[in-house]
Amino acid sequence: MTGNTQALLDETKELLVNTYATQPIVLERGEGCYVYDVDGNKYLDFAAGIAVASLGHAAPVMLKALQDQASQLMVAPPSFVTKAKVDCARLLVQNSCFDQIFFTNSGTEAIEACIKTVRKWAYENKSQQCSDIITFHKSFHGRSYGAGSLTEKRNTQPYFAPYVPGVYFAQFNDIESVKKLVTPNVCAIFIEPVQGEGGIMVAEPEFMQGLRKICDENKIVLVFDEVQTGMGRTGRMFAYDHMSIEPDIAAFAKGMGGGFPIGAMAAKKEFAQALTVGSHGSTYAGNPLATAVATAVLREIISPGFIDRVKKTGDYFRSKLEDLQRRSNKITDIRGLGLMIGIDTTIDIKKLPRALQANGLLATQAGDVTLRLTPPLIVTEAQVDEAVAIIEKTLKELT
**Cis before residue 24, ω within 30 degrees of 0?**
no
Give the CA angle between residues 383, 254, 145 to the nearest 5°.
140
Question: Could you give the CA distance from residue 61 to residue 306 in angstroms, rounded to a whole number?
Answer: 14
Question: Could you give the CA distance from residue 366 to residue 154 in angstroms, rounded to a whole number?
Answer: 17
Minimum distance, C-beta of residue 208 to ligand PLP, in the bound complex (Å): 15
Strand partners, 188: 133, 221
Q: Give the HSE-up count for residue 173: Cα atoms under 13 Å, Cβ half-sphere.
A: 9
Any contact of residue 313 with ligand PLP (CB under 6 A)?
Answer: no
Minimum distance, C-beta of residue 231 to ligand PLP, in the bound complex (Å): 13
- Residue 100 vs residues 269, 270, 375: alpha-carbon distances, Å: 6, 10, 30
Backbone angles phi, psi at 325, to 5 degrees: -60, -35
Q: Which of 112, 392 has the CB closer to ligand PLP?
A: 112
Minimum distance, C-beta of residue 315 to ligand PLP, in the bound complex (Å): 23
Q: Which stretch binds ligand PLP (CB under 6 A): 60-68, 103-111, 180-188, 386-394?
A: 103-111
Question: Could you give the CA distance from residue 105 to residue 298 in angstroms, rounded to a whole number?
Answer: 16
Minimum distance, C-beta of residue 81 to ligand PLP, in the bound complex (Å): 26
Q: Which residues have CB under 8 Å from 213's CB, separation 6+?
A: none
Q: Which of 152, 225, 248, 300 binds ligand PLP (CB under 6 A)?
A: 225
Q: Are 69 and 292 in contact (CB under 8 A)?
A: yes
Question: Using CB atoms, what's the residue nearest to ligand PLP?
Answer: 107
Strand partners, 133: 167, 188
Any contact of residue 148 with ligand PLP (CB under 6 A)?
Answer: no
Q: Are 140 and 153 in contact (CB under 8 A)?
A: yes
Minimum distance, C-beta of residue 263 to ligand PLP, in the bound complex (Å): 6
Any contact of residue 108 with ligand PLP (CB under 6 A)?
Answer: yes
Any contact of residue 373 with ligand PLP (CB under 6 A)?
Answer: no
Any contact of residue 367 with ligand PLP (CB under 6 A)?
Answer: no
Q: Which of 107, 286 has the CB closer to ligand PLP?
A: 107
Q: Which of 107, 146, 255, 259 binds ligand PLP (CB under 6 A)?
A: 107
Any contact of residue 106 with ligand PLP (CB under 6 A)?
Answer: yes
Q: Which of 204, 322 has the CB closer to ligand PLP?
A: 204
Minimum distance, C-beta of residue 221 to ligand PLP, in the bound complex (Å): 17
Q: Which of 225, 344 has the CB closer to ligand PLP?
A: 225
Question: Could you give the CA distance from residue 369 to residue 97 in angstroms, rounded to a whole number?
Answer: 35
Q: Which of 120, 126, 138, 141 binds ligand PLP (CB under 6 A)?
A: 141
Q: Are 191 and 136 in contact (CB under 8 A)?
A: yes
- DSSP string covering 40-83: --EEEESSHHHHT-TT-BT-HHHHHHHHHHHHH-S---TTS--H
**By C-alpha distance, which of 233, 249, 292, 213 is closest to 46?**
233
| Contact string (CB under 6 A) for ligand PLP, positions 184-223, x = contact | --------x---xx--------------------------
Minimum distance, C-beta of residue 243 to ligand PLP, in the bound complex (Å): 16
Q: Which stretch binds ligand PLP (CB under 6 A): 60-68, 224-232, 338-346, 377-385?
A: 224-232
Minimum distance, C-beta of residue 261 to ligand PLP, in the bound complex (Å): 8
Question: Could you give the CA distance from residue 308 to residue 311 in angstroms, rounded to a whole number?
Answer: 5
Strand 100-104 and strand 263-267: pairing? Answer: antiparallel
Any contact of residue 234 with ligand PLP (CB under 6 A)?
Answer: no
Minimum distance, C-beta of residue 88 to ligand PLP, in the bound complex (Å): 17
Q: Which of 131, 228 has the CB closer to ligand PLP?
A: 228
Residues that bind ligand PLP (CB under 6 A): 50, 106-108, 111, 140-142, 192, 196-197, 225, 227-228, 253
